[in-house]
Amino acid sequence: MQQPVHRGLKMEELRIVLLGKTGAGKSSAGKLFYTAASLQRVTQTCSKSTSTVDGHKIIVVDTPGWTDLSLKEDKTIMEIAKGTDLTDPGPHVFLLVIPIGRLTTKEINTVQQILEVFGEEASKYTMVLFTRGDDLKEKTFEENLEDTHPDLKKILDLCEGRYHVFNNKDKDNHKQVSDLLEKIKLMVERNEGKYYTKVMYQKMADKLEERHKTDVNEGRVKSYLQEDGEQEQSTAIPNDQNTNEEDNYMVHIAKFPSEKSNFGKFHGEKSCDEKSSCRRESQNKELHSMELKWQKKEAELQKTIERKEMTWLKEKNGLEKEIQQLGMKLREKKAELEKVKQELQVQQIKAGTLEQQKKENERFRRENDENKKKMKQKSAALQRHCDEFERMVNMNKQTDAKTLQKFLSQLKKDVLHSK
């Protein structure tokens, strides 16, 4: 079925599948899109989240994290492949989650192996999401890329250079989510709105199944040839002079079981085919037993990892809660300190005002003292003139108007107009 080509696509819905190794930070990256109501466990190991980010409906499917050993099991591959079914009709992007740091050849091979599951066509819809961007510190991503495994550049080239770097410790930074969505939208536009389909996956699954059958058949032929060689070597009995006719006949029967095959049964012995079949059955039982033991150990290990992750998550949530509480207390103390600072400023202003008033009062006091001194001087001068006037009157009872006018003029000059 051919997909419709969308020109000027509004992209109201984006479907994302997260792929990554256990411990790569895949779940932490996925939680940036999750909401408590939207997260739902769809299968035993896959989870699906539906949320709205920047006006877009975002569907995120988190596939099970793999290990170098778990990818050798078909059930792990099938469970990862189920992630495409949960984004029906198909994902717009595979986010291949890889932690920043030095990668081993085995880890790179594992990444390449998981990409092979979805085929070459999936590379058009794949973007590498590097987590733990905080580990870069002072280095740029390009500088870090120079120090990492050379095959990582091949994976980036396979994804046409598409990548994004996430800082897992900066979870409250919504901008890094918006930047990632912008890169995804740009990729979808370049793909003309197309997405990875079930037909593409089925085509690759058929190839893998055919290759698996070929490998199994080649393995069976190789095993049969090895067993046949062992049988011929074990039945190559030396034909010396003491060997009787019955021994020679038994050697002939062992080499050619189709002839006289009833001879061994007549003597109560098993034919070579039966021995080989028993040996294979025993080997298969032993392999099956070993596989069951390994699966049991792997299940126990997975449970241990999950318990550790849960414990770590609880501790992490507890620490985050404590950090939030400390942050709130710090903000409260900061507000109180700001309030005290403002009150101190008010008191300083009041103190400055009081100091100014004190200076003004001191100036008024000095002026008052000066005025009192002047008044005292004027009063003394007035008293002297009055005494002088009284003395003149007593000396000359008939004081004329001219003398009185002279006295008043002198009085005005000395008392009223004195400074």
Evaluate whether residue 356 is within a structural domain. no
> What sign results for the dihedral spanned by CA atoms 79, 80, 81, 84?
positive
What is the predicted pLDDT for the residue at 173?
A: 66
Which residues in 57-82 are b (16+ Cβ under 10 Å) and which e?
Answer: ebbbbbbbbbbeebbeeeebbebbeb
Q: Residues 6 or more apart from 12 whose CB is under 8 A from it?
A: 56, 57
Residue 118, in any domain of the structure? yes
Structural element, H or E, at residue 128:
strand 126-131
DSSP symbols for 50-99: EEEETTEEEEEEEPPPB-TTGGGSHHHHHHHHHHHHTTTT--SEEEEEEE
Residue 270: its pLDDT value, please? Answer: 47
Smallest CA-to-CA distance from 404 within 416, 392, 415 is with 392
Q: Model-level pTM?
A: 0.49
The one-digit pLDDT tens for each residue of the chain (419 residues) are 444 444 445 677 899 999 888 777 777 776 666 544 454 554 457 888 888 887 888 899 888 877 655 555 667 777 777 778 888 889 999 999 988 877 778 878 878 877 888 888 888 999 999 888 777 777 777 777 777 777 888 888 888 889 998 887 776 667 888 888 999 999 999 999 999 988 888 887 777 777 766 766 665 545 544 555 554 454 444 444 444 444 443 333 333 333 333 333 333 444 455 556 677 777 777 787 888 888 888 888 888 898 888 888 889 889 989 999 999 999 999 999 999 999 999 998 988 888 888 899 999 999 999 888 888 888 887 788 787 777 776 776 555 667 777 777 777 776 666 55
Domain count, the chain: 1
Q: For residue 351, what are its two tokens?
A: 């103190």
Count of alpha carbons within 13 angstroms of residue 400, beta-carbon side: 2
Is residue 85 included in any domain, yes or no?
A: yes
Q: Would you call 26 exposed, middle or buried from its count of C-beta atoms within 10 A (0-12, 13-18, 19+)?
A: buried
Using CA atoms, how far residue 145 sits from 29, 215, 247, in Å, is 21, 36, 71
In a domain, 1, yes or no: no
Is residue 35 situated within a structural domain?
Answer: yes
Tell me the residue range of the domain where 149 lies: 13-196
113 found inside a domain: yes
Helix, strand, coil percent values for the chain (each to nearest 5)? 65, 10, 25
Query: Tokens standing for 330?
Result: 């710090």
Instruction: Determine, yes or no, domain membership for 147.
Output: yes
Q: What is the pLDDT of residue 326?
A: 93
pLDDT of residue 266: 35
pLDDT at 302: 86
Q: 88: domain CATH number? A: 3.40.50.300
User: Which pLDDT belongs to residue 67?
Assistant: 65
Task: Report the 10 Å Cβ neighbour count for 162.
Answer: 21
User: Which positions ≥6 away from 171 have C-beta within 8 Å?
Assistant: 28, 31, 32
Chain length of the chain: 419
The beta strands (E) that lie in 148-191 are given as 163-165
User: Does some domain include residue 371?
Assistant: no
